Amino acid sequence: MVTRQITNAYVGGGAFNSYTSSLPVSPQGVFTVSIAGRWYGIDTNYEAYRHDAFKHTSYPAQRQSVNLTNVAGEGTVNTDGLWRREQNDWSMGSGQLFMDRQGSLANRFYRSKGMDVWTRWQLSVLPATKVRTGYSGNIVKSIRANGYVYVLTTTGVWFTSDYSTWTEVKTGGASIGSASDIAANGTYLWISKTTNLYQCVLGASTTSNIWHTAPTDNITAISWQLDTLFVACGSKLGYAKSTTSGIDWSLIWANPDTNFMWTSFATAQGAAYVAGYSRTNSKNYQGAVYYTTYDAATSAFSVPVVALPMTNGEYVTALYGYLNFVFVGSNLGLRMAQISSGNYLTSGPAIPSIQEPVKYPVTGITANGRFVYFSWNDYDDDSTGIGRADISNFTDTLTPAYASDLMVDWNGGNSNMVS
């Protein structure tokens, strides 16, 4: 901008551009502004009815209305401004994508991580997790029994009572090695490997094979239910029966599908629930939950009956009996099933919901008080952990409120848990 200093106001009579110079000079005298080579003065005198033209204001967020709640509604919102929303309770858990749609719950949300949402009107951070090691190999399964925690790893079986000192369970002074399963009651631990069944007192480090008559097929799963040690060998369901000669494997029922595998066990209301699926070409199909009961008159278990057929493509990987319910873990998530007449099961939808589907099957379930905990493998790209379901609050029939719970910085496979 090229200007020239003048002492009097320009009042016309010629081109304004005649006041030019090779040297720029700031506006002086009565002029206070220079714009594009022209000088201007600013009149700051007040004139009635014209001062609002220079006033800067913002649109109010709400228009004048009467609202009986603390949540803004369509009748409250100023269409020229923003729609303000609030949320101060999250106790109905995650899995809800929108909060302001018809039928949405005001105390539910989309997803969370590392947050305790289960106290009304409160949000807090969950405690950090700790790594406890001292055993060898990778954990395949873990159980708690009478103050001890036992872990089945890829190299053997180990136990601890304080998470600091770990002791390996051996047979004949040698490591058991890679076993198929472990189970326990309040007195004994059992370990299955090939056709052998090892037993030891809880807290002991030495075990031995207890079979008098062993099964002819390799043992694939064992579990203590109805005061009985169930022993599954692929499609054949049996149990360890005490006789005058010793412990014999006794067949309950062989599934006609020879590709079927019994995988999970639970007890509820006097019945034993057993589940499995058919495995063909490294893929799992036709999952179902069965029930069987013990007949004292005949000293035998009844032939298993289907209590809950799973949906197409769904297979069971965990069972847990709690109160009057059976919780079913599968490749689709966790289902809460109610026991009806005749020991049949009525199931709710799988959780987590379709808004945050599981990447891996639920492989572990436990409970404490009003909460049921389930494994949530590979929750995201950084973490694996557990989910928590609140069986005192429901978002639908047999659909407890849920959210993610404790997590560890690890992913890439299945996890198990003990309570």
Structure tokens at 19: 């006041």
Closest of 289, 330, 324 to residue 307, by C-alpha? 289
Euclidean distance between CA atoms 137 and 32, whole angstroms:
82
Decide the pairing of beta strands 345-347 and 365-368.
unpaired
Return the residue matching tokens 């949405």: 104
Closest of 198, 270, 194 to residue 229, by C-alpha? 198
Q: Which helix (H) or strand (E) holds 300?
A: strand 300-301
Render the burial of 249-264: b for 16+ CB within 10 Å, e for the rest: bbebbebeeeebbbbb
In contact, 331 and 284? CB cutoff 8 Å: yes
Name the residue ranges covered by the structural domains of the chain: 1-59, 127-186+196-209, 211-408
Residue 376 gets the label, from left (phi > 0), alpha (psi -120 to 50) or beta, of beta
Euclidean distance between CA atoms 143 and 146, whole angstroms:
10
Instruction: Give SS3 for 182.
Output: strand
Look at 351 and 8; give whichever has higher pLDDT. 351
Euclidean distance between CA atoms 169 and 409, whole angstroms:
29
What's the average model confidence in pLDDT over 151-157?
A: 95
Whether 231 shows a pLDDT value over 70: the answer reads: yes
Euclidean distance between CA atoms 92 and 54, whole angstroms:
50
User: Residue 198 — φ and ψ, nearest 5°?
Assistant: -95, 145
User: Residue 18 — φ and ψ, nearest 5°?
Assistant: -70, -15
Whether 277 shows a pLDDT value over 70: the answer reads: yes
In contact, 136 and 156? CB cutoff 8 Å: yes
Whether 72 shows a pLDDT value over 60: the answer reads: no
Q: What confidence tier does 3 reach under pLDDT thresholds 50, 70, 90?
A: very low
Euclidean distance between CA atoms 267 and 320, whole angstroms:
7
Q: What confidence tier does 233 reach under pLDDT thresholds 50, 70, 90?
A: very high
Whether 97 shows a pLDDT value over 80: the answer reads: yes
Structure tokens at 372: 């049921």
In contact, 378 and 372? CB cutoff 8 Å: no
Structure tokens at 109: 């949300």
> Beta-carbon neighbour count of residue 378 at 10 Å?
18
User: Residue 384 — φ and ψ, nearest 5°?
Assistant: -130, 145
In contact, 409 and 106? CB cutoff 8 Å: no
User: Residue 234 — φ and ψ, nearest 5°?
Assistant: 65, -115
Structure tokens at 43: 């009149």
- Cβ neighbours for 385, distance < 8 A, ≥ 6 positions apart: 129, 375, 376, 379, 404, 405, 406, 407, 408, 415
Euclidean distance between CA atoms 161 and 143, whole angstroms:
12
Structure tokens at 357: 């589907």
Structure tokens at 32: 């206070």
Closest of 348, 318, 322 to residue 336, by C-alpha? 348
Whether 183 shows a pLDDT value over 90: the answer reads: yes
- pTM for the model stands at 0.80
Structure tokens at 319: 């069972």
Structure tokens at 199: 């037993």
**Which pLDDT belongs to residue 38?**
75
Q: Which of 68-72, 386-390, 414-418 has the highest mean pLDDT?
A: 386-390
Encode pLDDT of 305-326 as tens digits. Answer: 999 999 999 999 999 999 999 9
What's the average model confidence in pLDDT over 93-103?
A: 89
What's the average model confidence in pLDDT over 163-176?
A: 94
Whether 418 shows a pLDDT value over 50: the answer reads: yes
Closest of 390, 367, 385 to residue 375, by C-alpha? 385
In contact, 10 and 19? CB cutoff 8 Å: yes
Bridge partners, 168 (sequence order)? 158
The helix/strand count (H/E) of the chain reads as 0, 32
CB-neighbour burial class of residue 94 (10 A; exposed 0-12, middle 13-18, buried 19+): buried
Encode pLDDT of 102-132 as tens digits. Answer: 889 999 999 999 999 999 999 999 999 888 8
Euclidean distance between CA atoms 121 and 101, whole angstroms:
22
User: Fold for domain 211-408?
Assistant: Neuraminidase (2.120.10)
Return the residue matching tokens 């304004």: 16
What's the average model confidence in pLDDT over 172-176?
A: 93
**Which pLDDT belongs to residue 91?**
95
Q: What confidence tier does 2 reach under pLDDT thresholds 50, 70, 90?
A: very low
Encode pLDDT of 285-305 as tens digits. Answer: 889 999 999 999 998 999 999
Whether 40 shows a pLDDT value over 90: the answer reads: no
